Structure 1
Amino acid sequence: MPPRLRPTRLEYVVDGVRLRAQLTTAALENLGDEQAQRRAALEVLKSALFRGRMIAKERLENGAGGIETARLLSGVTDEVVSALYDFTTVHIHRARNPTEGERLALMAVGGYGRGTLAPFSDIDLLFVRPYKQTAHAESVIEYMLYALWDLGFKVGHASRTVEECIKLSREDFTIRTSILEARRLTGDPELAQELVRRFQADVVKGTGAEFVAAKLKERDDRHARAGASRYMVEPNVKEGKGGLRDLNTLFWIAQYLHPGEPIEKVMQLEMFTGREVRAFIRAFDFLWAVRSHLHFTTGRPEERLTFDMQPEIARRMGYGDRGDNPAVERFMRHYFLIAKEVGSLTRVFAAKLEAERVKSEPRGISRLLPGRRTKKKPLDVKGFHEVNGRLAVEGREVFEQDPINLLRLFKIADARNLDLHPDAFTEASRAAPLITSAVRRDRHAAKVFLSILAHGRDPQRTLALMTEAGVLGRFVPEYGRIVAQMQFNMYHSYTVDEHTLRAVGVIADIAAGRLAEDHPLAVQVMPLIDDREALFLAMLLHDTGKGGAGGQEKAGARAARQACERLGLERSRIELVAWLVEHHLVMSDYAQKRDVSDPRTVTDFARIVENPERLRLLLVLTVADIRAVGPGVWNGWKGQLMRELYMATEAVFRGGRGSDAAAALKRHHENAAYDARIAIARADPTAESWADAMEDAYYTAFDPREVVAHAALSRRAAAGGGAAADCRVVPERNAVEVVIAATDRPRLFVDLAEAVTALGGNIVGARVFTSRTGQALDVFYVQDVTGQAYGADNPRGLQRLAEALEAAGRGESVAREARRSGDQARMAAFAITPTVVLDNEASETSTVVEASGRDRPGLLAALARTISDAGLSILSAHIDGYGERAVDAFYVTGPDGEKLSDARKRNALKNALEAVLEAEDAAPPSGRRANLQRARASVAR
């Protein structure tokens, strides 16, 4: 980190005396020409403002603190605004013999009143009048506002009498809060003093409880708007949970409860310990530095720390790479640790309010009414009692005498559905270092912990409180290492620890049957799981290997073994938890990147899983893991794929293992195809020839009713120009199923995929079938850019899609619609290495080509075109996305249905696909375009 600099004295940045002298010169040199005076004055003020901001920026980039920067910018603005006021009232609208009604005080209110400003913050001004508006005051205010707007300020302003300020403050808490921080800039000092005196006497006095209630409700509403978790990976520095506004709320409440005291003294009123005061200042300083860097970097009042900004802000704040830990992740972890500290400070503050009886009950506005009696209720656990519906402790000695009580505190609160008393939370936070190696290995401590984790009423909430207090990270150090850890990608919406706790919460909801509609299979198998504790432990530890040696899965398994051995689990359970952690991504990979109807996919997956218990555990673990990634990541399409893989694998376990299972599965497919052909012939004799010509694999994907519909579609294609398409919404897959029947030909799949892309659809899955008579049946599952079924609420859109696909099936070109760029700018922040893998072992009959790279519109079609140019046939495509990264898998065969085994052609195809992945979405530079063309030519040869 850069060395800290000495604070800058304001007169070295903006010399107020010199500034006013320059303005006087501008006025005198242009005497008689008001427009010229104004232009000259604005040039002087702009120069001063620019100089001040540039000095602040330079010092910030050289290590100055965030608070120092914010105060310096506020001081610069003070000088500019005050000098403008003097210029206006002396040279432009001077009152030669000012009357009582022409008195005017200019005050900074809101955040500006607090004396801190970000580079592009709004400034809030209050013009205080003794009584009704006069022509002179109106002229001064109008002139100043126009000048401030021309200087580039965004100004919030009001012109009121003292009486109006008092009246409106009583009615509106926003106005009340802004005047709470009012600070005189210039003008009549007596008017400013009268406002402050009247405000404290007539508004603040006796209204502390209602102000606290309003501010806490306002905070809760703001958190709901900005994202309830303080661990969102693109946090709002100002409005988000754990951000500057939370610290400001503490300031406001403290000032309101201690009117007339300077904030420095308020902070010394036994509200915080010295350590907590230092934490408060450290958090304020860090967040102000981040906010100021954001504003300077973007040139606008940007408050959200987006992915594309994070690496740049990390660089500006002096963070560097350290081993495998990149600078951006080190910076963001620091950010989230500060946000966590802000949460702890809020709880400490709540404890002070409790002591002052401003806040006395855990729920409802009534908790804020003063003077309520404290109700203490003893519990049957030594050292603990209940106070007004909250769990409290007798004192720190409860933890010193038996550190396991640090765990019991949270277990009792969860079991009895009690909120924690803020004092108890504070004492637990301070006592967390009492959890030593001996405590971690204590079998009684392990029993309490496992009861909370696997058998608790609300384990997500309880573990989150334990994390906030620092207890969980001390007891399970493997988890402690991922607290506030950032995942620098667009796939995960939360930090690693927040994602983990949300996943634990999903499992608890599944176990309680609360997610039966979304996850019927998971809810069904949950009661069949023998080792519930192993499941919850695996979920808690599944991401502890991130950034570890040997890769996440191997490192996570090692961490899981260490944690479980310390907890005293028997060897078989330790190995089960470690296996689940090491393989927690396997089911998702097989379901989403492989063809579940291929017997080899199922037998390979079954060989890894080995038994039904692991299959059940892995299903619930995978569902919870994906669902906890972020909003909208889980959908019906993924659920359907997961169910298909689970059911097929369960059938393997019922029929045997290894090669026997593969043979049984093959016989099952053959029997299913035979039975389906018989049923179809009976249901619709005209479909019999179509059914006879289709391959056996076709019948594992569709039931007889669907086959009859496909046969009718094929006849329609033959009678209507060679192609026909149908679209239907499939709610359980969260996608539109699009079926196209056409005469088979080279590049048919490519043309169809390009037609879908041209209309703004995202293909999430595709299957290709070809009959022995040369008829192709391609099936696409399509979503829109929001992840919903394409055209679900737009029948005309579905009709247009069907018409476009029919045209593409006949070989006609389809016009491309303009698509939104979406997150392309944010995606550019990530370095993504394209990878292509060709696997001849993953399928009995096909080569599996897996291509991974930066996602962009049209990528699937571009990859498919390259494969088609190589003379290969695509049998199925499996599409998945992980934020900025796309992973597309294709099952392909050569011209005669063979696998791609020639080493030269394999290398040529790999190079060509990598060139596609490296190309830009727009027209690539000539060098890249030439490389892409050469690669395709090599594949064709």
Structure 2
Amino acid sequence: MPAALPTLDLRSHEDIFQQLSSEGKPIPVARSVLNETRELADQYFRATLDAIAPVHYRSRQMDELLKALWRFCGLAVPNLGLIAVGGYGRGELHPHSDVDLLLLANQEEDIHGNSEGLQTFITLLWDLKLEVGHSVRTLKDCHTEASQDLTIITNLLESRLIAGEDSLYQQLKQIVDCQDFWPAQQFFTEKWQELQERHEKHNDSEYNLEPNVKNSPGTLRDVQTISWVTARYFGDGSLKALEDNGFLTSFEQSRLARSVAFLWQVRYALHMLTGREEDRLLFNLQREIAELLGFEDDGNRLGVENFMTRFYRNQLATTEICDLLLLHFNEDFMKCEDDDCIVRINDHFNLQNGYLQVKDEALFAREPSWILRVFVLAAQTPDVIGIHSDTIRALRDHRHLINDEFRKDSVNNKLFIELMCNEQHVVREISRMMRYGILGRYIPEFGHVIGMMEHDLLHIHTVDDHTFRMMRFLRRLRYSKMRESYPIASKLIHKVPKREILYLAALLHDTGKYIEGDHCQHGERISQEFCQQHGLSANDTHLVSWLIGNHLTMSHAAQRLDLNNPEDIHQFALEIGDKLHLDLLYLVTVADMVSTNQKLWTSWRAEQMRELYNNTLRALRRGLGNPLNKEDYIEAIQQEAIEILRRQGINEQRVWDIWGDAGDDYFLRENVDNIIWHTIAIQEHGTATTPLVSIRETSVEDYEGATQIFIYMKDQQHLFAVTTATLDQLNLNVQDARIMTSEKNHTAVDTYIVLDQDNQPIDDRERLGEIRASLVSALACPEEYSTIIQRRTPRILKSFQVDTQVTMSNDPYMHRTVLEVTAADRPGLLARVGAIFAEFGVQMQGAKILTEGERVSDIFFILNEDGQPYSDPAICEQLQQAIIQGLDDQIQMQSAV
């Protein structure tokens, strides 16, 4: 039998006052009331998941307690009043919301005459640990300060009397309600500006990852803004007032009420679980709240991802209605008194004050194609600011007409492609289509991913938001201001024959994410069917679908391939096929990376992509049937380096002595510039016994995207572990490592590519000197590497659990084993892997390090202790399990720090 539902019984102020009077100790009595209120409200919420009743119950019980305390402090006297304002004035009190109070007096003398009681009352509230926001003002103060301050007049709009003289409160209402005091239009203008500034502030990536349930776009503050404007305009801030005055339909009223109820659920849970006024959906809370609210894992989606998708879709719905209402208010204030502000566009549409307005809303029912045509019209018509609220509402009311027949109609298909070809306004209008619920119906696969969020630190935007950012980025590449940051992409965008192919690829590239499995393959199939349905040529259809199927190929190649190795580049060029495919894929890849997470596009990533593009382009120009011969390549590299070194005063014999038995791999993996740098550094180091550590400043053109560290010394067992642990302590992020050991004298020739904590190269000479000194000191005594103290794990990383996975495979072209590690990002992981390699006698050849949000995906190129690729399955299994166990232990240890 289910437990009985908690009863939200109020204790009256009279009952509380009698207890206060009899016991004479207000703090224990008041605290008992507050504790009982909290327990009852929280029990009710957990039992029902209804936040509306407990939020109002908390407010009403707070009223009763404050009335009793007001009276207990001797303040029940003439000319004083206790007024609830702000959210508390609306009768809303979440577990840790502010209790906003106005202590109102008729005259200054009333304040001075009751100063002791007022001070006692306020002190009591503080001692009770209530989140109190209070002010003590006279009627005159209220008039003066509210006339100058938008926040104060807003608070007073939501006031109500708790205790004291009603006549005093009515005088305050007369001041606030006077239409000459903050006229409705002025108030609306200020509030709209305030909303836009808040949206801009809360639209950065961290607010998308951990949205604010109160202040982010489409949340409670937006609804409150509507309420404030409504209160100023109609004298009543309720949703019913909007409906009664024709500003809101019954459907919209119901939808907005459901949105608020859900937001209250989330906010109540946040306050209850954290024990504080926490309005941010922090990562470590999202999963717990999802479970509390009943969201479960299903198929390929986590319960927390379903919860966040619901949250973001709720935001979208709230934004849609609030924007519509604000537009409606603006149109009402800007009503035309003459015909000058109305411009005829065609037989069906006018432009009124810059907003496209349909003359007859039945047009969409008679000719459903106008549901799409209106966006084409908006894109083609100069001076369009937006679409009129009546027309938006009509579009929404007729979007049910978008069915399979509508989607297959050739007229509608041509209209959509026409819009995609309108490069100037395609992103603006496609975004509008999404906001008004048209795009998700016209492309159902896109509808499935609207509001979809992946619970990780890599994808910081919802799929739909990421898509529009990607399209916007591609469009902005045409502008000269983008050339410095994206030189290759800015050049290529002007050479693409049909840029609508890029926009279509961007629009559809993630539509396969709602289906379990490889979203690239699903997206390729979806886009192929879409393009064929919309009459694209076979070649254009191939390009769009190929780009979508391969939109991760180039970024993965840049991370995995040895970009100086001719064989790796040749194999990649075979996958690409020709220059057009390379150009288009480069543009899509850069746009995707930047739009997924701006932090993903580091200077080193940009350098890798540039090198991959240029090397592949050279391979394509040379001809896919004419790959570069390895021996010829090495000889050319050596001769070029020798010639430059000879001009710098190093004779050829000395050069060959320095190179010793470096082997072919060294000359395949290093470019001429690096070979010269290494040779000169070794020459200058001479016979010194200390480790050689040389750091290349980032002014060098070929490696301006990162800082290079060259280490040359006698090879030792823990060298990789020592180096990576030291770099970690220096707050440097390893991006790439090329590890080589000469066969004859066992000398380590290692190069590390690093960035600082902000993913930027290091240019400061003092900082470079510190790095070099730390490495020389650590490498001189590698046996002490285990004493290096690990750094603390950031809070946000502790919120994720990533299964540690290790795979091994052999690379037949390079005759080496590729070991891939995926694990949770924690300080010191590279050093731990290096220590395990030392235990197993692993010979390191190189590493590529990729941190994507909360996880690392590292690739190590290794050989066994005999210098051969791994072939014994038993040893492979032992090595893999040792790494998994070692990293799991490291992660557990770091999570506790």
Q: Indicate the SS of the match to 1:632.
A: helix
Instruction: Report if the CA contact (8 A) 1:594-1:889 is conserved.
Output: no
- Aligned partner of 1:307 in structure 2 is 283
- Aligned partner of 1:400 in structure 2 is 365
Q: Indicate the SS of the match to 1:849.
A: strand
Alpha-carbon spacing, 1:829–1:705, altered in 2? closer, same or farther (3 Å): closer
- Aligned partner of 2:752 in structure 1 is 780
Instruction: Report if the CA contact (8 A) 2:740-2:845 is conserved.
Output: yes
**How far has the Cα of 1:839 moved from its partner?**
1.9
Give, as a single letter, the amino acid of the residue that structure 2 aligns with 1:466: M
Looking at structure 1, the residues matched to 670 and 814 of structure 2 have their Cα atoms a distance apart, in angstroms, of 21
- Aligned partner of 1:757 in structure 2 is 728
- Aligned partner of 1:50 in structure 2 is 35
Indicate yes or no: 2:167 matched with 1:190. yes
Alpha-carbon spacing, 1:407–1:121, altered in 2? closer, same or farther (3 Å): same
**How far has the Cα of 1:729 moved from its partner?**
4.1
CA deviation profile, 1:528-577 (whole Å, cap 9, x unmatched): 43453333222211111214233222222222233223323344433433
Indicate yes or no: 2:250 matched with 1:274. yes
Looking at structure 1, the residues matched to 631 and 488 of structure 2 have their Cα atoms a distance apart, in angstroms, of 25
- Aligned partner of 1:736 in structure 2 is 707
Looking at structure 1, the residues matched to 285 and 649 of structure 2 have their Cα atoms a distance apart, in angstroms, of 61
- Aligned partner of 1:598 in structure 2 is 565
- Aligned partner of 1:466 in structure 2 is 433
Alpha-carbon spacing, 1:755–1:355, altered in 2? closer, same or farther (3 Å): closer
- Aligned partner of 2:620 in structure 1 is 653
Alpha-carbon spacing, 1:844–1:230, altered in 2? closer, same or farther (3 Å): closer
Alpha-carbon spacing, 1:354–1:831, altered in 2? closer, same or farther (3 Å): same
Looking at structure 1, the residues matched to 690 and 812 of structure 2 have their Cα atoms a distance apart, in angstroms, of 34
Looking at structure 2, the residues matched to 666 and 60 of structure 1 have their Cα atoms a distance apart, in angstroms, of 74
Looking at structure 2, the residues matched to 185 and 830 of structure 1 have their Cα atoms a distance apart, in angstroms, of 46
Instruction: Report if the CA contact (8 A) 1:440-1:567 is conserved.
Output: no
Looking at structure 1, the residues matched to 887 and 411 of structure 2 have their Cα atoms a distance apart, in angstroms, of 54
Indicate yes or no: 2:344 matched with 1:378. yes
Aligned with residue 491 of structure 2, among 524, 536, 544: 524
Instruction: Report if the CA contact (8 A) 1:894-1:900 is conserved.
Output: yes
Instruction: Report if the CA contact (8 A) 2:343-2:351 is conserved.
Output: yes
Q: Indicate the SS of the match to 2:802.
A: coil
Looking at structure 2, the residues matched to 530 and 896 of structure 1 have their Cα atoms a distance apart, in angstroms, of 54
Give, as a single letter, the amino acid of the residue that structure 1 aligns with 2:798: A
Q: Indicate the SS of the match to 1:745.
A: coil
**How far has the Cα of 1:642 moved from its partner?**
0.9
Indicate yes or no: 2:108 matched with 1:120. no
Alpha-carbon spacing, 1:670–1:532, altered in 2? closer, same or farther (3 Å): farther
- Aligned partner of 1:21 in structure 2 is 18
Give, as a single letter, the amino acid of the residue that structure 2 aligns with 1:472: L
Q: Indicate the SS of the match to 2:598.
A: coil
Indicate yes or no: 2:798 matched with 1:828. yes
Instruction: Report if the CA contact (8 A) 1:467-1:473 is conserved.
Output: yes
Alpha-carbon spacing, 1:704–1:598, altered in 2? closer, same or farther (3 Å): closer
- Aligned partner of 1:486 in structure 2 is 453
Looking at structure 2, the residues matched to 894 and 633 of structure 1 have their Cα atoms a distance apart, in angstroms, of 33
Looking at structure 1, the residues matched to 445 and 236 of structure 2 have their Cα atoms a distance apart, in angstroms, of 48
Looking at structure 2, the residues matched to 199 and 152 of structure 1 have their Cα atoms a distance apart, in angstroms, of 31
Alpha-carbon spacing, 1:510–1:344, altered in 2? closer, same or farther (3 Å): same
Alpha-carbon spacing, 1:62–1:562, altered in 2? closer, same or farther (3 Å): farther
- Aligned partner of 1:60 in structure 2 is 45
- Aligned partner of 2:791 in structure 1 is 819
Alpha-carbon spacing, 1:610–1:709, altered in 2? closer, same or farther (3 Å): closer
**How far has the Cα of 1:321 moved from its partner?**
2.4
Q: Indicate the SS of the match to 1:838.
A: strand
Moved more, 677-686 or 238-247: 677-686
Q: Indicate the SS of the match to 2:799.
A: coil
Q: Indicate the SS of the match to 1:545.
A: helix
CA deviation profile, 1:704-763 (whole Å, cap 9, x unmatched): 554343223224444433312233442765432222222233332221111111222111
Alpha-carbon spacing, 1:189–1:781, altered in 2? closer, same or farther (3 Å): same
Moved more, 127-136 or 635-644: 127-136
Moved more, 506-515 or 851-860: 506-515
Give, as a single letter, the amino acid of the residue that structure 1 aligns with 2:692: A
Alpha-carbon spacing, 1:925–1:320, altered in 2? closer, same or farther (3 Å): closer
Instruction: Report if the CA contact (8 A) 2:510-2:519 is conserved.
Output: yes
Moved more, 687-696 or 637-646: 687-696
Alpha-carbon spacing, 1:743–1:373, altered in 2? closer, same or farther (3 Å): farther
- Aligned partner of 1:74 in structure 2 is 59
CA deviation profile, 1:428-466 (whole Å, cap 9, x unmatched): 222222222222123332232223334421433322211
Looking at structure 2, the residues matched to 230 and 729 of structure 1 have their Cα atoms a distance apart, in angstroms, of 32
Alpha-carbon spacing, 1:352–1:524, altered in 2? closer, same or farther (3 Å): closer
- Aligned partner of 2:328 in structure 1 is 352
Give, as a single letter, the amino acid of the residue that structure 2 aligns with 1:888: D
Give, as a single letter, the amino acid of the residue that structure 2 aligns with 1:255: A
Aligned with residue 157 of structure 1, among 130, 134, 140: 134
Instruction: Report if the CA contact (8 A) 2:560-2:859 is conserved.
Output: yes
Looking at structure 1, the residues matched to 895 and 198 of structure 2 have their Cα atoms a distance apart, in angstroms, of 46
- Aligned partner of 1:169 in structure 2 is 146
Looking at structure 1, the residues matched to 145 and 543 of structure 2 have their Cα atoms a distance apart, in angstroms, of 65
- Aligned partner of 1:387 in structure 2 is 352
**How far has the Cα of 1:401 moved from its partner?**
2.8
CA deviation profile, 1:816-853 (whole Å, cap 9, x unmatched): 46734323xx3333332221121213642321111011
Indicate yes or no: 2:765 matched with 1:795. yes
- Aligned partner of 2:582 in structure 1 is 615
Q: Indicate the SS of the match to 1:185.
A: strand
Instruction: Report if the CA contact (8 A) 2:449-2:514 is conserved.
Output: no
- Aligned partner of 2:603 in structure 1 is 636
Unaligned residue ranges in structure 1 (runs of 5+): 28-39, 361-369, 927-941
Moved more, 638-647 or 64-73: 64-73
Alpha-carbon spacing, 1:886–1:260, altered in 2? closer, same or farther (3 Å): closer
Give, as a single letter, the amino acid of the residue that structure 2 aligns with 1:306: L
Looking at structure 2, the residues matched to 630 and 13 of structure 1 have their Cα atoms a distance apart, in angstroms, of 50
Looking at structure 2, the residues matched to 244 and 631 of structure 1 have their Cα atoms a distance apart, in angstroms, of 28
Looking at structure 2, the residues matched to 230 and 634 of structure 1 have their Cα atoms a distance apart, in angstroms, of 17
Indicate yes or no: 2:515 matched with 1:548. yes
- Aligned partner of 1:414 in structure 2 is 379
**How far has the Cα of 1:640 moved from its partner?**
0.8
Instruction: Report if the CA contact (8 A) 1:673-1:696 is conserved.
Output: no
Indicate yes or no: 2:285 matched with 1:285. no
Alpha-carbon spacing, 1:754–1:417, altered in 2? closer, same or farther (3 Å): farther
CA deviation profile, 1:401-433 (whole Å, cap 9, x unmatched): 322222222223233352212332232222222
Looking at structure 2, the residues matched to 187 and 158 of structure 1 have their Cα atoms a distance apart, in angstroms, of 16
Q: Indicate the SS of the match to 1:309.
A: helix
Moved more, 908-917 or 139-148: 908-917
Instruction: Report if the CA contact (8 A) 1:684-1:708 is conserved.
Output: no
Aligned with residue 831 of structure 2, among 861, 864, 883: 861
Looking at structure 2, the residues matched to 922 and 260 of structure 1 have their Cα atoms a distance apart, in angstroms, of 56
CA deviation profile, 1:279-338 (whole Å, cap 9, x unmatched): 111111111111011110111111111222111111111222233332212211111111
Indicate yes or no: 2:856 matched with 1:886. yes
**How far has the Cα of 1:126 moved from its partner?**
0.4
Aligned with residue 677 of structure 2, among 709, 713, 718: 709
Looking at structure 1, the residues matched to 340 and 48 of structure 2 have their Cα atoms a distance apart, in angstroms, of 49
Percent same amino acid among aligned pairs? 28
Alpha-carbon spacing, 1:425–1:228, altered in 2? closer, same or farther (3 Å): farther
Give, as a single letter, the amino acid of the residue that structure 2 aligns with 1:744: D
Instruction: Report if the CA contact (8 A) 1:535-1:577 is conserved.
Output: yes
Instruction: Report if the CA contact (8 A) 1:832-1:885 is conserved.
Output: yes
Alpha-carbon spacing, 1:261–1:225, altered in 2? closer, same or farther (3 Å): closer
Q: Indicate the SS of the match to 2:811.
A: coil
Q: Indicate the SS of the match to 1:821.
A: coil
Looking at structure 1, the residues matched to 404 and 555 of structure 2 have their Cα atoms a distance apart, in angstroms, of 36
Instruction: Report if the CA contact (8 A) 1:557-1:578 is conserved.
Output: yes
Looking at structure 1, the residues matched to 449 and 334 of structure 2 have their Cα atoms a distance apart, in angstroms, of 34
- Aligned partner of 2:73 in structure 1 is 88
